Structure 1
Amino acid sequence: MINKDFFDALSELVETKGIDEQSLLDSIENALSCGYKRLKGDAFDVKVKLNKEKNSIKFYNSDLVEHSKEIKNIEWDSSAAEKNGYEDYMLKEIFEQPTAIRETIGSRLKLGEPCNFSDINITKEYLSTINKIFIIACGTAMHAGLTGKKFIENLCNIPVEVDIASEFRYRNPIIDEKTLCIFISQSGETADTIAALKLSKSKGAKTLAVSNVIGSSITREADYTIYTHAGPEIAVASTKAYTSQVVLLGILAIYFAEILESTDSETLENLKKDIFDLPKKIETSLKTSDEVKKFAKKISKEKDVFFIGRGSDYNVALEGSLKLKEISYIHSEAYASGELKHGPIALIEKGITVISILTDKNLLEKSISNIEEVITRGAKTFIVTNQDIENSNFDNVVKIEDTNPLLSPILSVIPLQLLAYYISKDKGLDVDKPRNLAKSVTVE
């Protein structure tokens, strides 16, 4: 029988000086908050024993025979775990998004030049054989995938299906060697996503991992890996990792479009310019903080909140609803605005809060009509928009900057992140560590 000195190393393992075996941490972010030392790699069939006296760690196989494992140094500085004057990690990470996006863009994007993905080097010969792409993830990462679908389908003309990893595994997905499967996981340790990746490989598909953690389990399993480089995200509720994932998927879609020549170069070049402008435009979105905080105080006692949007705005509604649930414990639901009359509008009554995201000018008239419908039934509204809306009935309108419609989810989600944060703070809750949730879901 294995005693307390041995631990299943199903995730990345971190050795932290001065902490005993029972406190061995299972993610880089947590290690940083305690003072990190070293990352231990690939140990799915391994048991671990710490020797505090000799300040060492040993690995054993299932028969308890010792064998060596590679030690990897963590590149992130421990100062990344400091709050730097912010009250909570989540607020710090929300305000770090301009910097995180710049890091994600990195050297991958240059005006007048092809995107740089030399680390994966996907060829035209291979990409031309792909007739379908799956994007598979959980939670917030899945919401990023929904926007990734828009990028790829619009720029590359390849059909994309977005799946929840825990569902994908059990529905016999139609996959073969002409399928590319993209897996998104901030931690790189999400159990369902890793299992879905293994299933895809067994069916002959090539796999591409999108992660924030270098050397994580998903990156070792995938055929290709690209990193967001967003920096450590310590708060359980994801913010900067989400926007970085969306940006990276957008750049990847441009890269594919350049290879396939599926979109004209002028359109791609203009989109690149818009991506470069994102950090400054995010800074403008962050300036809505005081405005958002006032509205948060008005609705922090609510029991139910609804989010609505059309097209890409619906994807943002899903993410905004999840953020609110995660850290404020308020029941919230997100609906495509066009579905209101197919059931949800029966729940709209006097005093109910409806949050609307409205950034697509082609759907402006229909979206305004939906907002008017809920106001007629007595709802309080909070509107995030980049459009000029002139309607005396619309209270609590937060204006963000305009951008390419494909990129609008990156700007419109910022006020919703702030809203969830300030509601949670007004309720006196632990913003960084909400109940029953973990940063890395390493069990199925």
Structure 2
Amino acid sequence: MCGITGYIGEHTSSAVLKTGLQNLEYRGYDSAGIALVGDELQVYKQQGTIDGLSIPTTETATHGIGHTRWSTHGEPTDENAHPHTDCSGDVAVVHNGIISNYDDLKQELGGHLFESETDTEVIPHLIEEELTAGADLRAAVMRALTRLEGSFAIAVTHVEYDGIVAARQDSPLVIGHGDEGMYLGSDVTAFVEYTQQVSYLEDGDVAHIDATGMTVFNDGERVTRSVQTVDWDATAAGKAGHDHYMHKEIHEQPTALRQAISGRIDELAGHATLEVDLRDAFLESIDEIHIVACGTSYHAGLYAKELFEPLTDVSVRVDLASEYRVHDGHDTQRTLVIAVTQSGETADTLTAIRQAKSCGMTTLAITNTVGSTITREVDDALFIKAGPEIGVAATKTFVSQVTILALFGTYLSRLRGTLAAGDAADLLANIRQLPSAVQIVLDAESQIQRLASQYADSEAFFFIGRALGYPVALESALKLKEISYAHAEGFAAGELKHGPLALVTEDTPVIALLNSGAIADQTRTNVKEVEARGGPVVGLTTTGQPDSFCRHTIEIPELGRLEPLVSNVALQLFAYHVANELGRSIDKPRNLAKSVTVE
């Protein structure tokens, strides 16, 4: 991993490729490089940032490929950076994914010279052998792929080949169709300023791309991949005057929520109107829901569980996708599996969905990415419509995921007749008020910034909550540790006295969710335990309901079961300003990638 870009056309190739690499920086990387094809193959690569990469600004290259690497096999060095070449120096390859049998392939390629520690380097040498045997580049790539085990997205160039060959298996690739050439990327952001017309490659696809179009093959047969229009633009993918993408995306949440809600609530009938293709009869019959997700999306799933069970009278379990197992005792015909994933390409979540489908279960995806792998593999998908999220730490996608899950909960409860009309109307009214409530919190940023400045140097941070407050405590701790590198933990408030209380000192602030839906009265007991031991407490309380046991309070607009979700926005700002105070790399935190496409 982590980012692939490619271009062939009328523009200066190096400039387009460098722009593509810069657009992909948000995915995280530790080295970068490009290969340019003209009269000869020229490779420029090095450890470090794209800004430090020496690339010619004028050249005669007709096309090229580029890559930002996040180390998996081998340390971040110039030698391990992509692209990798064959012995002749005529073939260049960039690769995302993991080649699991690369050790065996290296042994089989014993006569070849290897210059890196990467699994990727076996690919150009496999292609070289096929070219030597007389194949053209596309055929050579197709034959080489049959020897690979694992996951991959690759782009390949050759000094004598007028085009780029791209292929994917369990790792995303998208092709852009422009007026002045063709583009290639791990995602749309790589080339969004040049075109919004895209085609998504599918597993097993091998594509030849030239300046006028593409030809795609799968299992040796020519196939068609539709051209779609994405609704992202270059402005949406920029910082718009903010110092960091994360700050911009925190402030985009009112807009993202309006987009998520738009057209999905029937005001007159008082119920959600979702574009769900799953059969009503099936949804009425289910007795169990499995939610599978990773990281922030997992926390959205935990929030949904707290909403779903009282709304729908259905048992809900939430699994980390990497830990998901289907055991005996489940009625697979009456189980719905919901995958929550921002990118739609998360490897662990895809594996979980495939396991569910192999057991005969019906699947639904909640995602931000039209055309992503998961949308093609599930039975149905609901899109959160949050727009591009560039910062590695998820913000607007979390609130949008929870919102869509809440709408789905009311949709399901109506079908099943488990929610009184008045209760449904109250929840939908709260959903409609979400954008305004979030804006009120954003308008109070200066207060949150002062708190962050006061506590930025703390030894550790503990977040506590109950019921709907618990997943927000987990998510808020994750956000803080992701971007500030501070030690932060989230706990169910009742568990504080079962061990974590031993860590509470005057240098460990405790942030407590004291909202509606978070069982505030019981949580106040835990707040008193902290206060008695000298620990500073920051309480998130309902507007007009300050708490005397809290050293500081952040007031959150009253919003029923969605109030803790709004508190999460305040805690995103808290994490951001702590990290900024500490001078961290907020949009590109160390060791993390935006889209985790390997298991």
State TM-score, norm by structure 2: 0.69
Q: 343, 352, 366: which one pairs with 2:522?
A: 366
Q: Check conservation: 1:175, 1:203, Cα contact below 8 A.
A: no
What 5-or-longer segments of structure 2 have no aligned partner?
1-125, 129-155, 158-164
Q: 219, 231, 251: which one pairs with 1:95?
A: 251
- Cα deviations by residue, 1:95-151 (Å, 9 ceiling, x for unpaired): 111111111111110223264546324444222221100111111111111111122
Q: Name whichever structure is richer in helix by fraction.
A: 1
Q: Cα distance, 1:2 vs. partner?
A: 3.1
Is 1:314 the equivalent of 2:475?
Answer: no
Partner of 1:325: 481
Q: Cα distance, 1:393 vs. partner?
A: 4.9
Counterpart-to-counterpart distance in 1, 2:180 and 2:301: 38
Counterpart-to-counterpart distance in 1, 2:252 and 2:377: 30
Q: Which stretch shows the higher mean deviation, 423-432 or 243-252?
A: 423-432
Is 1:2 the equivalent of 2:127?
Answer: yes
The one-letter amino acid paired with 1:13 is: V
Write the mapping of 1:327-346 to structure 2, written as runs, cut at 5 A: 327-346=483-502
The one-letter amino acid paired with 1:2 is: I
Q: Which stretch shows the higher mean deviation, 211-220 or 355-364?
A: 355-364
Partner of 2:185: 25
Partner of 2:205: 46
Partner of 1:59: 216
Is 1:143 the equivalent of 2:299?
Answer: yes
Q: Cα distance, 1:390 vs. partner?
A: 4.9
The one-letter amino acid paired with 2:202 is: A
Q: Cα distance, 1:194 vs. partner?
A: 1.1
Counterpart-to-counterpart distance in 1, 2:276 and 2:517: 36
Q: Check conservation: 1:169, 1:195, Cα contact below 8 A.
A: no
The one-letter amino acid paired with 1:269 is: A
Counterpart-to-counterpart distance in 2, 1:131 and 1:426: 48
Partner of 2:444: 288
Partner of 1:385: 541
- Cα deviations by residue, 1:371-423 (Å, 9 ceiling, x for unpaired): 1211222212222121655555522211010112x212321101110011111
Q: Check conservation: 2:207, 2:214, Cα contact below 8 A.
A: yes
- Cα deviations by residue, 1:251-279 (Å, 9 ceiling, x for unpaired): 11111111111111111112211211111
- Cα deviations by residue, 1:354-377 (Å, 9 ceiling, x for unpaired): 111110378333222211211222
What 5-or-longer segments of structure 1 have no aligned partner?
none
Write the mapping of 1:20-419 to structure 2, written as runs, cut at 5 A: 24-32=184-192, 35-51=194-210, 54=211, 56-61=213-218, 67-113=223-269, 115=271, 117=273, 119-169=275-325, 174=330, 176-360=332-516, 363-386=519-542, 388-390=544-546, 392-404=548-560, 406-419=561-574
Q: Which has the higher contact order (CA 8 A, sep 6+)?
A: 1
Q: Cα distance, 1:177 vs. partner?
A: 1.1
Q: Check conservation: 1:27, 1:187, Cα contact below 8 A.
A: no
The one-letter amino acid paired with 1:39 is: V
Q: Check conservation: 1:97, 1:279, Cα contact below 8 A.
A: yes
Structure 1 residues 280 and 59: alpha-carbon distance in aligned structure 2, compared to 1, 3 A threshold: same
Q: Which stretch shows the higher mean deviation, 355-364 or 426-435?
A: 355-364
Q: Which stretch shows the higher mean deviation, 284-293 or 8-17?
A: 8-17
Superposed CA RMSD? 2.6
Q: Check conservation: 2:253, 2:396, Cα contact below 8 A.
A: yes
Counterpart-to-counterpart distance in 2, 1:355 and 1:392: 14
Counterpart-to-counterpart distance in 2, 1:215 and 1:390: 46
The one-letter amino acid paired with 1:368 is: R
Structure 1 residues 387 and 440: alpha-carbon distance in aligned structure 2, compared to 1, 3 A threshold: same
Structure 1 residues 2 and 47: alpha-carbon distance in aligned structure 2, compared to 1, 3 A threshold: farther
Q: Check conservation: 1:211, 1:227, Cα contact below 8 A.
A: yes
Structure 1 residues 92 and 125: alpha-carbon distance in aligned structure 2, compared to 1, 3 A threshold: same
Partner of 1:13: 174
Q: Check conservation: 1:305, 1:331, Cα contact below 8 A.
A: yes
- Cα deviations by residue, 1:218-273 (Å, 9 ceiling, x for unpaired): 11111011111111111111111110111111111111111111111111112211
Secondary structure of 2:595's counterpart equals coil
The one-letter amino acid paired with 1:416 is: L
Counterpart-to-counterpart distance in 2, 1:108 and 1:441: 30
Is 1:424 the equivalent of 2:579?
Answer: yes
Q: Check conservation: 1:308, 1:356, Cα contact below 8 A.
A: yes
Secondary structure of 1:356's counterpart equals strand
Q: Cα distance, 1:215 vs. partner?
A: 1.3
Counterpart-to-counterpart distance in 1, 2:259 and 2:344: 18
Secondary structure of 2:275's counterpart equals coil
- Cα deviations by residue, 1:254-306 (Å, 9 ceiling, x for unpaired): 11111111111111112211211111111111122111111111222234211
Counterpart-to-counterpart distance in 2, 1:256 and 1:286: 32
Counterpart-to-counterpart distance in 1, 2:191 and 2:566: 31
Q: Cα distance, 1:349 vs. partner?
A: 2.0
The one-letter amino acid paired with 2:499 is: G
Secondary structure of 1:128's counterpart equals helix
Q: Which stretch shows the higher mean deviation, 67-76 or 79-88?
A: 67-76
Counterpart-to-counterpart distance in 2, 1:348 and 1:261: 46
Structure 1 residues 378 and 16: alpha-carbon distance in aligned structure 2, compared to 1, 3 A threshold: farther
Q: Which stretch shows the higher mean deviation, 296-305 or 310-319?
A: 296-305
Q: Check conservation: 1:352, 1:378, Cα contact below 8 A.
A: no
Q: Check conservation: 2:556, 2:566, Cα contact below 8 A.
A: yes
Q: Cα distance, 1:50 vs. partner?
A: 4.0
The one-letter amino acid paired with 2:127 is: I
Q: Cα distance, 1:19 vs. partner?
A: 12
Q: Which stretch shows the higher mean deviation, 116-125 or 74-83?
A: 116-125
Task: Give the fraction of aligned pairs with identical amino acids, expressed as a percent.
Answer: 35
Q: Check conservation: 2:173, 2:184, Cα contact below 8 A.
A: no
Q: Check conservation: 1:13, 1:39, Cα contact below 8 A.
A: yes
Q: Check conservation: 1:14, 1:25, Cα contact below 8 A.
A: yes
Structure 1 residues 330 and 175: alpha-carbon distance in aligned structure 2, compared to 1, 3 A threshold: farther
